[in-house]
Structure formats: C-alpha cells, structure tokens
C-alpha cells in the first residue's frame, strides 16, 4: 500500500467457460436489460430521490443475482463516500458507513479512476483492507462503477457485493455501467425536481405571506378607519353635547325658579315638573354622549375591583330577575385598578342588564376578573402599551350578535332593540369610558351561544388620587363675596349671573379671557374666578387661571365646562388641583361649589355632576 497509483488494474474475468451456451448468455442479457428497463420506467414517474436509490439497489442486485448492493454518495467537504442506500445489509450500515474517496478501497479506486473496479476475491487483493462490516456480512467479491453527476464531480458509486467468490464477466460490468448511467439521469432529474419543488414551495410561501400581509393590512386599515370614524363621531358628539349642556344649564336652573313661583298652582307646577324631568333626561343623554366622546370628567383612584363587583352584584341580583343566574369568578389577589369607581360600577351594571335583555327566556350572566400581562405584540393588537392590566369580562349565554352587526355595536345610537327599548348609547358609553381610562374593550359573540365584553383596565401604581366627597349642606348657602364670571355663551352668562346674585354675591362679568384680565388688572376686589374652560381667544380657562393667579396669588378659582378637553384633563383625568363644576348644573350645585372654592371645605378635585345615575341602555 506504499504507492496506490502504481497498483495494476484488476482485469475483468473473460467469458471462457466452454460450458456456457449462447442461450444462457442471451437469457442473462435479457434479464439484465429488463431490469434496466423496469428501473428506467420507475424513475420516470418517481421524483423522490430516496425512493429512487432504494429501488435502484434492489433492482440492480436482482439483475446480477447478488445478495448485496449499495449506493455511496460523494461528500466533497469530507472527501469520502457515504452509503446512502443499500440492499441486503444489516442495520447500522446505510447512512453510517463511509470510505475514503481514494485508492484505499474498491469504491475509492473506481471513484478516483473513473473506471469500473472489479474484485473477484477481496481476500487475495493485497491492495485493499476491507472494512469490518464486509467481514460481518462475508463479502468476498465486488463490482464498483461510477454514478455520474450533473457537473464535473461524480455523484458517487454503485456497488454490487457478493458473499461468494464470483467471476464477473464483461456483460456484468456492462450491465452495471449502463444501470449506473440510467441511475445518474434519475438522480439528476430528481435533484432538478427537488429544486423546482423548493422554488415552488418558496413561491407558495411568498404568496401565502403576501396574502397574510394583505389580510393583516386590510384588518389594520379597517381598524384604523373604524377608529377614525369613532374619533370623528366622538368629536361631533362631544361638540353637540357641549352645546346641549350650555342650553340645559339655563333650562335646569330657570325651571327651578319657575317651579317655585307656581308652587301654589297645581297645573302649572305639573308642567314645570315635566320640564324639569325632561331637562334631567337631557342631562343624562349628554353624559352618555360625553362618555362615548371620551370627554366626561373622570376621577380615577386605586380600587379593589373585586369588592366593587361584589357591591354591584348586590344591586344586580334583584334587578336581573329569577330567570337569570348570576355567576362571578373573581381572581384571588387581584391587582388594584386605576379607574373611576362610579363609572366602572355604571359600566358593569349596564353590561349586565344588556346581557339580561338578550336572554328573555332566561340564562346565565357571568362576571370574571383576573390579572393579565400584555407583551408588545398583544398590546399593539389591543391598542395599548405593553404591561400589566386588570381584566374584567361580562358575558351571557344569550342569542349572540350576528357577525355583520358586531363591528357596529360601539357606534352611538346603534341598537338592535325595538323602538323605544334602547337608545343605542349603552355600549358606546362603555367604549368611551374604558378608552378614556387608558384601557381597551373588545366584544366577542357567537350566535346562539352568547356574548362577552372584555375590558382591560390599567393597574394602579404609586399613590392613587383620593376620591373626596363634597361637604353636604343642609340648605343652599350664599355669601357676600365678589365673583368674576367668565363665560363666552351670553345665555349661560346671564343665567349664571342671575343665580349668583340671587345668592347674595356681587358679580363682575367677562365674555373671554382678554376681558377678564382687564378686570383682574383693575382695583376692584375679586374673591373668586368662576370661568368656563373652553372659550374663544388666545387663552382658555386653565391658562386664564394661571395668569390670574400670577397677578392675584390669593385668588380662588372654580372651573366649569360642558365637556372636558385637553385644557381640563391630562390622560383623561381631571387634574388633582382643580375644582370643577360640570354643566348642566342646578342652583344648589352652583351654591355648594362656590362655598367650597371660597372656604376650602373640600380638597381639590371636588366635582359636582348633574343628574341621577345613568340607567343602562342598549
């Protein structure tokens, strides 16, 4: 084994057996040609390389009546030949055994020289050191031929192995060489087919990715259009509510005066009462509109949501009726939520009563709470920042909401209830309240199985703002201080001045911030600045208050508005240092808040809100 390149070629045994007849040779040739034909037909309809190789070694072994055969694939990186398909071998050979692609083995010699290598008796061949698995299978003779590749480098070797000494003739070598050529074409075709399949799969994946991205884009576009529509409707609704509140402020206040004047005339008193009730309903309507528009004043604090739900269910059980089962699943150790407790209670009551209305034949209303953590992906899908939230879900087992209607349920005035049974503001209020609270709300519904409304509320961190109660007064209390009233609406301004003066106060008036500053710069005494928040001109109410206190540091300030804009709120919440009176308000509310502002009997963020608690509507 000193110089493998000088080894003499192993001759092919001549067919010199006198006993061999022409008929025997023809029979063998026909059998071998039939084997090549069968394999060629198989390879034309099969593109799986593994199946092609396994069929090749089987047919090839049968064609030479040999007990063993194998295909070795060349691995350029390792410069070796790995057995990738075999016939007759024990486990552990195919896929594991390798030989060097050089002159040290029969396979390597055929691969290196490019010519068939025939060994009639391995025991007598001094040039080779057969591997251990040859001895385990009793291999004594081999034929190796090259399987061409698609390029300059051969694919590998096709080998026939026999456990008996075999004198192979030229016909055997020719058969094996011809078979290897057909196998080479099959391997090349399978490789091209694999490449085509891979390209097709890549194109399919690209098409699927494109379709998925298009669907995601359409979903995002739809979500964006819906959000823009809701925002536009909210702006319109908020502006409408603001104007209505100005009108209702005048109506609510003056009807009190009329009612007192006709108290001794029953017919007129009844009319005054109807007007007053209509004003209350109008105030409730504007509150719902403001809730949807995300412009209602909110007073968030850290609350125990579970405790709030327990209190709410005590109100709900008699209201829902005996035909409704109320089930609560409240998480232990639930985090506190930073939320307006009064508005959350109204929201839960609203959703539960809506659920009841969807089950006239009876059913189940469920209220569930748990903590939830949103990663960046989940948060983006829910229009939130990543982080921790408190989940509150209200579900029912009712008839559900059709899929074509579901996207519209948060729109104001949209309802599926009969005329007169719902205003269409219930779910829009829920939507506006939760969004204004820096949360998110989603609705899921399956027809004939029920609906679930899920709210994600921000968790409380740090010290929560206190919810401070106004000091109750046994009766309307006035005073003699001087109040500067700043209101751009002439009708409201005249009404407010009349009411304030009826309480004994002196008044100064201005229609905007510029006029107010002229009064403030004068020598007239001023004890309280009572200003609207939204006014035309360079300064709004907040900016006017800052400027007024810069000039008169001891000046008390009371704000009022028909809705809360950025000048009133930060992140949807009223600033802690502000005293705020929401329109429309009654004389008693006005009198009480003025005394609070002047005497400091309540801390900042004391707020008076009009009307009775908002009933649940569809």
Q: What is the pLDDT of residues 107-137, one digit of tens each?
A: 888 888 888 988 887 777 766 777 778 888 8
Using a CB cutoff of 8 Å and minimum separation of 24, what contacts does 436-441 make? 436/291, 436/294, 436/295, 436/296, 436/298, 436/572, 437/298, 437/300, 437/338, 437/339, 437/340, 437/343, 437/572, 438/384, 438/571, 438/572, 439/339, 439/384, 439/389, 440/382, 440/383, 440/384, 441/410
CA distance 427 to 185: 70
Q: What CATH number does the domain containing 189 carry?
A: 3.30.450.40
Verify that 436 and 496 share a domain, yes or no.
no
pLDDT for residue 384 is more than 90: no
| Burial (CB count within 10 angstroms: exposed 0-12, middle 13-18, buried 19+), residue 387 | middle
Show which of 145, 174, 195 is a domain's final residue: 195
Residue 471: which pLDDT band, with cuts at 50, 70 and 90?
A: very low
Verify that 506 and 597 share a domain, yes or no.
yes
Q: Take residue 477 and report the two structure tokens written for it.
A: 């209390």
Pairing state between β 324-330 and 156-162: unpaired
Show which of 195, 219, 246 is a domain's final residue: 195
**What value does the mean pLDDT of the chain take?**
79
Q: Which residues of 22-36 are buried (b: 16+ CB within 10 A; e: fewer)?
A: eeeeeebeeebeebb
Give this prediction's pTM.
0.45
Q: Which of 85-94, 139-148, 278-287, 509-518 has the lowest mean pLDDT?
A: 278-287
Helix residue ranges per DSSP H, 64-169: 106-113, 132-137
Structural domains counted in the chain:
3
Task: Catalogue the E-assigned strands of 506-612.
Answer: 506-510, 528-532, 556-561, 569-570, 573-574, 580-582, 607-608
Q: Which of 60-64, 353-357, 374-378, 482-486 has the highest mean pLDDT?
A: 482-486
Give a yes or no: residue 423 inside a domain: yes
pLDDT for residue 613 is more than 70: no
Question: If we measure between CA atoms, which residue out of 185, 13, 6 comes closest to residue 113?
Answer: 6
Q: What is the pLDDT of residues 71-88, one digit of tens each?
A: 999 998 888 899 999 999
| End-to-end CA gap in the chain | 96
Verify that 527 and 425 share a domain, yes or no.
no
Give a yes or no: residue 289 inside a domain: no
Q: Which of 206-215, 223-232, 294-303, 585-594 has the lowest mean pLDDT?
A: 223-232
Give φ, ψ of 603 to 5 degrees.
-80, 170
CA distance 443 to 461: 27
Verify that 423 and 505 share a domain, yes or no.
no
Q: What CATH number does the domain containing 568 carry?
A: 3.40.50.2300
Give a yes or no: residue 282 inside a domain: no
Verify that 400 and 488 share a domain, yes or no.
no
What confidence score (pLDDT) does residue 418 get? 52
What confidence score (pLDDT) does residue 606 get? 41
Verify that 509 and 586 share a domain, yes or no.
yes
Give a yes or no: residue 244 inside a domain: no
Give a yes or no: residue 287 inside a domain: no
Give φ, ψ of 9 to 5 degrees.
-65, 145
Show which of 149, 168, 195 is a domain's final residue: 195
Range of the domain at 582: 482-608
Verify that 315 and 188 share a domain, yes or no.
no
Give a yes or no: residue 125 inside a domain: yes
Q: Take residue 486 and report the two structure tokens written for it.
A: 């700043």
Verify that 493 and 454 share a domain, yes or no.
no
Q: What is the pLDDT of residues 418-462, one digit of tens each?
A: 544 455 556 777 887 888 888 898 889 888 888 899 999 999 875
Residue 567: which pLDDT band, with cuts at 50, 70 and 90?
A: very low
What confidence score (pLDDT) does residue 420 get? 44
CA distance 585 to 29: 111
Verify that 78 and 39 share a domain, yes or no.
yes
Give a yes or no: residue 161 inside a domain: yes
Q: What CATH number does the domain containing 421 carry?
A: 3.30.565.10
Q: What is the 3-state secondary structure (H, E, C) of 266-293?
A: HHHHHHHHHHHHHHHHHHHHHHHHHHHC
Dmax over CA atoms of the chain, in Å, equals: 147
What confidence score (pLDDT) does residue 572 get? 45
CA distance 424 to 420: 10
Verify that 489 and 398 share a domain, yes or no.
no
In DSSP notation, 354-405 reads HHHHT-TT-EEEEEEEEEEEE-HHHHHHTTS-SEEEEEEEEEE-S----TTT
Verify that 504 and 393 share a domain, yes or no.
no
Q: Please compute the mean of the pLDDT values over residues 481-493 and round it to a whole number.
A: 90
Give a yes or no: residue 280 inside a domain: no
More confident residue, 423 or 608: 423
Verify that 382 and 517 share a domain, yes or no.
no
């Amino acid at each position: 084994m000193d110089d493998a390149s000088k080894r003499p070629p192993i001759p092919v045994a001549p067919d010199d057996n006198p006993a061999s007849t022409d008929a025997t040779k023809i029979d063998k040739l026909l059998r071998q040609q039939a084997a090549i034909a069968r394999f060629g037909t198989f390879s034309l309809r099969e593109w799986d390389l593994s199946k092609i190789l396994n069929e090749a070694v089987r047919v090839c072994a049968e064609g030479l009546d040999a007990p063993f055969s194998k295909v070795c694939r060349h691995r350029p990186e390792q410069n070796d030949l790995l057995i990738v398909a075999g016939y007759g071998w024990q486990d552990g050979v195919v896929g594991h055994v390798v030989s060097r692609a050089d002159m040290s083995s029969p396979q390597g010699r055929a691969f290196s020289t490019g010519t068939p290598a025939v060994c009639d008796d391995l025991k007598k061949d001094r040039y080779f050191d057969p591997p251990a698995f040859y001895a385990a299978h009793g291999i004594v003779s081999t034929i190796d031929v090259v399987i061409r590749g698609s390029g300059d480098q051969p694919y590998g070797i096709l080998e026939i192995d026999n456990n008996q000494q075999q004198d192979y003739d030229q016909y055997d070598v020719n058969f094996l060489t011809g078979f290897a050529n057909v196998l080479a074409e099959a391997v090349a075709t399978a490789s091209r087919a694999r490449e085509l399949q891979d390209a097709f799969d890549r194109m399919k994946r690209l098409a699927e990715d494109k379709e998925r991205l298009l669907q995601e884009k359409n979903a995002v576009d739809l979500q964006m259009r819906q959000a823009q529509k809701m925002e536009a409707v909210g702006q319109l609704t908020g502006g409408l509510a603001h104007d209505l509140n100005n009108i209702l402020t005048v109506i609510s206040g003056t009807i009190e005066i009329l009612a007192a004047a006709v108290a001794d005339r029953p017919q007129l008193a009844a009319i005054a009462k109807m007007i007053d009730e209509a004003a209350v309903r109008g105030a409730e309507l504007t509150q719902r509109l403001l809730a949807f528009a995300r412009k209602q004043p909110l007073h968030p604090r850290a609350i125990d949501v579970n405790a709030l739900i327990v209190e709410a269910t005590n109100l709900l059980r008699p209201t829902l009726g005996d035909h409704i089962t109320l089930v609560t699943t409240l998480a232990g150790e639930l985090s506190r939520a930073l939320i307006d407790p009064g508005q959350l209670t109204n929201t839960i009551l609203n959703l539960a009563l809506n659920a009841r209305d969807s089950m006239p034949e009876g059913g189940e209303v469920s209220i569930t709470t748990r903590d939830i953590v949103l990663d960046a992906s989940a948060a983006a899908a829910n229009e939130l920042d990543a982080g921790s939230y408190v989940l509150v879900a209200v579900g029912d087992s009712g008839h559900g909401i059709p899929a074509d209607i579901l996207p519209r349920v948060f729109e104001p005035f949209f309802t599926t209830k009969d005329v007169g049974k719902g205003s269409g503001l219930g779910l829009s209020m829920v939507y506006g309240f939760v969004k204004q609270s820096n949360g998110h709300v989603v609705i899921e519904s399956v027809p004939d199985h029920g609906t679930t409304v899920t709210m994600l509320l921000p968790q409380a961190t740090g010290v929560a703002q206190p919810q401070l109660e106004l000091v109750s007064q046994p009766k309307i209390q006035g005073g003699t201080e001087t109040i500067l009233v700043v209101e751009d609406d002439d009708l409201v301004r005249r009404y407010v001045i009349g009411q304030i003066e009826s309480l004994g106060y002196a008044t100064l008036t201005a229609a905007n911030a510029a006029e107010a500053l002229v009064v403030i710069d004068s020598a007239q005494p001023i004890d309280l600045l009572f200003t609207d928040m939204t006014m035309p001109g360079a300064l709004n109410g907040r900016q006017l208050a800052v400027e007024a206190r810069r000039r008169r540091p001891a000046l008390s300030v009371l704000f009022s508005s028909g809705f809360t804009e950025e000048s009133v709120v930060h992140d949807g919440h009223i600033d802690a240092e502000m005293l705020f009176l929401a329109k429309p308000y009654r004389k008693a509310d006005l009198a009480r808040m003025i005394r609070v502002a002047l005497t400091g009997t309540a801390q900042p963020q004391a707020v008076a809100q009009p009307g009775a608690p908002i009933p649940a509507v569809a």
